[in-house]
């Protein structure tokens, strides 16, 4: 689909007005800098290059391993937490697990979970249209990082305001993160990962701080690859009419989020993939573990019959954000399976 080929798009039960969309699609190409984020991203990228230099010159081995562990576990706060639990309601979690996921998410801070979910649900409702915050039709650089360093276009703001976030504002765990984002977030994301190497194995402040910046920047780009690479490179076995694709490289670097054609076809499947957890989908293994101990329940997944039925309808593009979307039809969920259902 060319940049100006778009005419109208169904978002829920409402059709975005053709004239309005075309007007804002043109306006959307006008770059209005978000200077706060530009300065922030410049700092973390310059700092990460310095951190990379320190990694090979003076950082202690334990500090390098610690950074890798922080990223590995922190990724579950984004994938199992912000994405599959809160954005798509693909499963439910007890309060202890919700707290753990919120803390892990804060370790890889990409905005508050409420903010992250709002953008992500908007993305699913308006995938790769002018109302998508990171429209892949605007190219790799835009969908990867360009959308972060500009102010949102009027149509993105307009469609984002329609997204129901009441479930998030009623969640005390998310309200805590939102309320204390100026104190709790820096403590978990910056202070703790910096002082632990200093206190426990005598790392220098300089090394500990800049390796923390490096691991944060790497994790950020891994997540952003889903918006860019997973919409531009790979196969589309489940729905040929949408841009999201199956990208195994993205799955590897994001703990299982790269099976993107499947995910956009069945956004409420807790696996975010047709197959169960393995080396390319450790997030599913993570959720399955907590399901076994009773902390994760009502896991929604998809039967093979439903997958075959849906794959046969490749002309249908799915614009629902997850399980409780008001536009989710009985036909969409007829073959769904809820595992470990709480009685």
Q: How far apart are CA 207 and CA 329, in angstroms?
A: 53
Whole-number pLDDT of residue 327: 76
91: containing domain: 10-339
- 3 inside domain: no
What residues does 33 pair with on adjacent strands?
A: 150
Q: At what angle do helices 113-125 and 172-179 cross, to 10 degrees?
A: 110
CA separation for the pair 59, 61 (Å, rounded)? 7
Total domain count, the chain: 1
Structural domain contains residue 286: yes
**Does 287 fall in a domain?**
yes
325-334 residues labelled b (16+ CB within 10 A) or e (exposed): beebeeebee
Comparing 313 with 277, which gets the higher pLDDT? Answer: 313
Helical H segments across the chain, by residue range = 18-27, 35-57, 61-76, 95-107, 113-125, 140-144, 154-160, 166-169, 172-179, 184-186, 192-201, 205-232, 248-253, 260-265, 282-292, 304-311, 330-333
pLDDT tens column, 101-118: 999 999 999 999 999 999
State yes or no: pLDDT of 193 exceeds 60: yes
Between 80-94, 183-197, 253-267, 269-283, the lowest mean confidence (pLDDT) is in 269-283
* 235 three-class SS: strand
In a domain, 1, yes or no: no
Query: pLDDT band for position 279 (50/70/90)?
Result: confident
Interatomic CA distance for residues 57 and 341, integer angstroms: 52
Residues 253, 259, 261: CA angle, nearest 5 degrees:
140
5 within some domain: no
Asked if the structure places residue 2 within a domain, the reply is: no
CA distance 105 to 117: 12
Q: What is the largest CA-CA distance in the chain?
A: 62
pLDDT, one tens digit per residue, over 13-63 is 334 444 444 444 545 667 889 999 999 999 999 999 999 999 999 999 999
pLDDT for residue 76? 98
Is 203 a member of any domain?
Answer: yes
Can you give the pLDDT at residue 324? 84
Give mean pLDDT, residues 242-252. 94
């Amino acid at each position: 689909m060319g940049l100006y080929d778009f005419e109208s798009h169904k978002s829920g039960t409402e059709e975005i007005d053709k004239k309005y969309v075309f007007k804002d699609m043109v306006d959307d190409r006008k770059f209005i800098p978000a200077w706060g984020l530009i300065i922030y991203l410049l700092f973390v990228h310059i700092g990460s290059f310095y951190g990379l230099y320190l990694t090979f010159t003076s950082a202690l081995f334990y500090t390098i391993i610690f950074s890798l562990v922080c990223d590995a576990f922190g990724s579950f706060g984004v994938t199992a937490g912000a994405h599959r639990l809160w954005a798509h309601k693909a499963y439910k979690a007890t309060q202890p697990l919700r707290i753990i996921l919120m803390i892990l998410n804060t370790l890889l801070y990409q905005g508050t979970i409420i903010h992250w979910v709002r953008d992500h649900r908007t993305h699913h409702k308006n995938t790769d249209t002018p109302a998508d915050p990171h429209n892949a039709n605007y190219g790799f650089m835009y969908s990867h990082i360009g959308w972060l360093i500009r102010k949102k276009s009027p149509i993105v703001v307009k469609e984002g305001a329609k997204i129901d976030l009441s479930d998030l504002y009623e969640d005390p765990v998310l309200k805590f993160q939102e309320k204390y984002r100026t104190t709790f977030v820096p403590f978990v994301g910056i202070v703790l990962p910096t002082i632990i190497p200093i206190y426990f194995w005598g790392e220098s402040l300089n090394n500990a701080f800049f390796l923390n910046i490096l691991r944060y920047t790497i994790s950020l780009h891994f997540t952003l690859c889903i918006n860019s690479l997973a919409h531009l490179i790979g196969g589309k076995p489940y729905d040929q009419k949408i841009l999201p694709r199956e990208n195994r490289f993205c799955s590897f670097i994001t703990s299982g989020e790269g099976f993107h054609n499947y995910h956009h076809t069945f956004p409420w499947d807790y696996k975010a993939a047709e197959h169960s957890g393995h080396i390319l989908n450790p997030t599913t293994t993570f959720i399955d573990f907590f399901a076994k101990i009773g902390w994760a329940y009502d896991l929604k997944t998809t039967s093979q019959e439903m997958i075959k039925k849906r794959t046969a309808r490749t002309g249908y593009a799915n614009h629902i954000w997850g399980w409780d979307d008001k536009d989710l039809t009985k036909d969409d969920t007829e073959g769904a399976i809820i595992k470990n259902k709480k009685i």
